[in-house]
Amino acid sequence: MSLPEYPTITRDTSGSRSTTVLVWCAAASVALLFTKASNLFEIVPLTARMGATLTESFATYAVLAAPAIALVVWQLTPRRGWPWLLLAGAVLAAPASLMQVWHALYADWMDDILIIATGAAPAFTVAGLCGAATVLWQAGNRAAGGTLVGATLVVQLVAPVVLMSGGFDARETIAIVGLVLVVPAIVGAAITVSASTVIPSSVPVRPDLRTTIAGAVAAVTPALFPILQPSRQEMRSNPDTISDYFLYCGLIALVIAIAAGMAAGLLNLLASAALGLLLGAFGMMIMPSVEVLREFAVVAIIAAIGSVVIGVLVAQSRWRFQIGMGGLALVVVGLFVFFLMVNSDDVRSYRDFLDGATPVLVVIGVIAALSTVTSVGSVVARRSDTPAIVVGLTVPFTVAVIGLITWLMLTAPDDKAPLTNMLPASAAGVLIAGVLVAMIVNRYGESQRTDHRPGSDTIL
């Protein structure tokens, strides 16, 4: 199979200062994702409730239209649409934080409106950030563009570690932090809207319509959870109903993911599978990590934030792929060691080891995830498919991973902890994701290896 045709993209050095400004303005919206309770578009919270009753209201399903709307905007106006998506995401995130801080602003009739606004905000923000990354990459600022993709996804995994492990459980505290971050996000997005006219007219390359449609369809996969949810009576009469529920959701999501990915092309299938596996596996690992790190609040905050800073620096290096792959290998080894310790008879030794090794594994995992996601994002950004992949095609793979791992945890033997099944499954997910990333970079990044010129950025 021949490599895909890529457009010729030259670096516009005259606009380097303008693109740097756009990077910082877009980065303000990355910070906004930090406090979102609906990380990963509600996927992890829905699954974590272990079959609890979900609200079957219009708002529950209306939220799922947000990614499709964002992708339509990106498809129709790729040059000017992404700043408006950033602005919409920041504005929609503000009301919930405002009302949690000032309760007098809240009224009962606002419930559905707040659910829709709060749920749609991250989808618009992520799509806008991926659009910004694509524009930056194609305009010549490749290191910043690729890193922006990595930070957009990984910051959503880091947020629970800082906010929950760090002792910021109170909703009001999180709301205040969110309110503080939403102000620079709105200002930055507004500046980006006005400054986007400086972007060269040749970028971004118009996204592929087939990929956009496939991404929009795939983005509604989380609807499986409320649609297939068993009734309370079924859960009481048959305890296995809950585990079967997650199994069916995972398998159906996997079928949707593969079908949508194949419709979008081989590269997009591999990229969405790699990102979905990373998000799903790391998302599941964050849950037990938070429980351990609660006892070490300062360590948790330093480890999480420090790993993001180091990860951003590594992601801009030529060696990010090699460092990322090495980090994933260490994560797999660490999970295997955890598995052996969980199955040991010495509970005290296991606990001591877990307390000491968890912060280290979190740091390595965040750096590895940021580096590998940046490597994938740098490849797909050349074809303007990044928003459709991240907001759409990646979602069913993430749903599938979380659903299947949750099923394994629920079906663990009564005399074993749920971690017994989760750890090897998560390790397998990370391992497969690493193989897929290597395939993407070595095969589809090959045409870009020779694109190195003195003074230019490279993706490898």
Q: pLDDT by residue (tens digit) across 117-147?
A: 888 888 899 999 998 888 888 877 777 788 8
pLDDT, one tens digit per residue, over 161-199 is 776 665 555 566 666 777 778 888 888 888 888 876 666
Measure the CA–CA gap between 368 and 139, rounded to whole angstroms. Answer: 26
Residue of higher predicted confidence among 42 and 211: 211
pLDDT of residue 45: 38
Q: Confidence band (pLDDT; 50, 70, 90) for 16?
A: low
User: 366 with 304: CB under 8 angstroms?
Assistant: yes
Lowest mean pLDDT among 183-187, 246-250, 268-272, 354-358: 354-358
CA distances to 33, 117, 178, 220 from 114, in Å: 17, 5, 15, 19
pLDDT of residue 9: 44
- The phi and psi torsions of 2 (rounded to 5 degrees) equal -75, 155
- With residues binned 3-state (H G I as helix, E B as strand, rest as coil), the percentages for the chain, rounded to 5, are 80, 0, 20
Compute the residue count for the chain: 460
Q: Confidence band (pLDDT; 50, 70, 90) for 359?
A: confident
pLDDT of residue 13: 45
Q: Confidence band (pLDDT; 50, 70, 90) for 93?
A: confident
Using a pLDDT cut of 90, give the percent of the chain over it: 25
**pLDDT reading at 216 higher than 50:** yes
Cβ within 8 Å of residue 83, ≥6 positions away: 128, 132, 189, 192, 193, 196
pLDDT of residue 142: 78
**pLDDT reading at 319 higher than 80:** yes
* CA–CA–CA angle 74, 85, 195 (5° rounding): 95
- DSSP secondary structure letters along 257-313: HHHHHHHH-HHHHHHHHHHHHHHHHHHHHHHHHHHHHTT-HHHHHHHHHHHHHHHHH
Measure the CA–CA gap between 384 and 204, rounded to whole angstroms. Answer: 7
Indicate the domain borders of the chain: 13-449
pLDDT of residue 252: 94
**pLDDT reading at 431 higher than 90:** yes
Measure the CA–CA gap between 64 and 172, rounded to whole angstroms. Answer: 26
pLDDT of residue 5: 46
Lowest mean pLDDT among 170-179, 241-250, 363-372, 377-386: 170-179
Residue of higher predicted confidence among 320 and 40: 320
**pLDDT reading at 104 higher than 60:** yes
Residue 377's nearest CA partner among 34, 144, 215 is: 144
Residue type, 212: T
pLDDT of residue 245: 87
Lowest mean pLDDT among 3-7, 32-36, 75-79, 211-215: 3-7
Cβ within 8 Å of residue 289, ≥6 positions away: 161, 165, 358, 361, 362
Measure the CA–CA gap between 152 and 125, rounded to whole angstroms. Answer: 9
Mean pLDDT of 268-277: 94
Lowest mean pLDDT among 139-148, 352-361, 440-449: 440-449
What b/e readout covers 290-318, taking b as 16+ CB neighbours within 10 angstroms? bebbeebeebbbebbbebbeebbebbbee
User: 284 with 401: CB under 8 angstroms?
Assistant: yes
Measure the CA–CA gap between 275 and 12, rounded to whole angstroms. Answer: 30
**pLDDT reading at 79 higher than 90:** no
pLDDT, one tens digit per residue, over 384-421 is 889 999 999 999 999 999 999 989 888 877 667 677 88
pLDDT of residue 274: 95
Structure tokens at 334: 């660490």
Mean pLDDT of 74-94: 88
Using a pLDDT cut of 70, give the percent of the chain over it: 77
Mean pLDDT of 25-43: 64
- Residue 155, classified by CB atoms within 10 Å of its CB into exposed (0-12), middle (13-18) or buried (19+), is buried
**pLDDT reading at 99 higher than 60:** yes
Q: Reply yes or no: is the peptide bond before residue 200 cis, omega within 30 of 0.
A: no
Dihedral class, residue 198 (left if φ above 0, else alpha if ψ from -120 to 50, else beta): alpha
Q: Does domain 13-449 have CATH number 3.30.70?
A: no
pLDDT, one tens digit per residue, over 329-350 is 999 998 888 888 877 766 566 6
Instruction: Please compute Rg for the chain using Cα positions.
Output: 21
H or E stretch covering 378: helix 347-380
CA distances to 78, 88, 208, 333 from 205, in Å: 8, 23, 9, 41
* CA–CA–CA angle 178, 181, 186 (5° rounding): 115
Q: Confidence band (pLDDT; 50, 70, 90) for 238?
A: confident
Average pLDDT, the chain: 78
User: 210 with 388: CB under 8 angstroms?
Assistant: no
Lowest mean pLDDT among 96-110, 304-318, 388-402: 96-110
Taking the CA atoms of 350, 353, 359 and 360 in sequence, report the sign of the dihedral they define: negative
Q: Confidence band (pLDDT; 50, 70, 90) for 437?
A: very high
**pLDDT reading at 459 higher than 50:** no
Residue type, 231: S
Q: Confidence band (pLDDT; 50, 70, 90) for 23?
A: low
pLDDT, one tens digit per residue, over 249-264 is 999 999 999 999 999 9
